Amino acid sequence: MTKITESAIEKFTIELLEKSGYHYIYGPTIAPDGETPERESFEDVLLIERLRKAIGRINPTVPQDCREDAVKQIQRLISPELIANNEAFHRLLTEGIKVTIQKAGRSRGDLVWLVDFKNPENNDFLVVNQFTVIENNVNKHPDVILFINGLPLVVIELKNPVDENATVKSAFRQLQTYKQAIAGLFTFNAFEAHRTQ
């Protein structure tokens, strides 16, 4: 009988997500000190260049300076309250980011969208494992994170089903620990999952 390990479950999860259209990247590869860094520091949880490209693709008629203003609005979500940050981000994600466009001496409002809900193929779907986040000198690396357009929208904590201590409760507690230790990641979290099989 083959022994089931948490790494085997992680690999299986990634393979399922790849079959669903997610592109896979090993977290250390895109770390600040990785082969192809996509973050300036381990505290950064947004994949900013992916986000900028997606915003440009989804909002081609919005001027570049307004698209950059939308990115800055996302980066400014730094309330000390995680729930307040997450609620503010959820509004930006679902209602669009309000920007002001200047044209011929006149101002008009417009919206910048972070996800193309009408054309899903216009989005960048990425699954990353072992994505290290360091916040307040605390180092954590959740098992699997799903990024859509550079936004870490889903955090998945995996547990080995043959380990009697690996329960849905223990996975839930692990996620709660992450929320306290690396709250910045959960500002953008739209869904968290814990799986034991």
Q: pLDDT for 13-27, tens place per residue?
A: 999 999 999 999 999
- For residue 177 the two structure tokens come to 């620990």
Indicate whether 56 belongs to any domain. yes
User: Would you state the pLDDT for residue 178?
Assistant: 84
Task: Answer yes or no: is pLDDT of 105 > 50.
Answer: yes
| Model confidence band, residue 192 (pLDDT cutoffs 50, 70, 90) | very low
Indicate whether 157 belongs to any domain. yes
Mean pLDDT of the chain: 88
User: Would you state the pLDDT for residue 77?
Assistant: 85
Q: How far is CA 68 from the centre of its chain?
A: 19
Residue pair 194/174 in contact by the 8 Å Cβ criterion: yes
Indicate whether 127 belongs to any domain. yes
Indicate whether 1 belongs to any domain. no
Total domains in the fold of the chain: 1
Range with lowest mean pLDDT among 21-35, 117-131, 150-164: 150-164
| Model confidence band, residue 108 (pLDDT cutoffs 50, 70, 90) | confident
Task: Answer yes or no: is pLDDT of 195 > 70.
Answer: no
- Give dist(CA 51, CA 46) in Å, integer: 8
- For residue 94 the two structure tokens come to 């679902």
Indicate whether 182 belongs to any domain. yes
**What is the four-CA torsion angle of 156, 125, 132, 172, rounded to 10 degrees?**
-10
- Give dist(CA 178, CA 142) in Å, integer: 8
Q: What is the pTM of this model?
A: 0.89
User: Where in the sequence is the domain holding 70, given as residue range(s)?
Assistant: 6-195
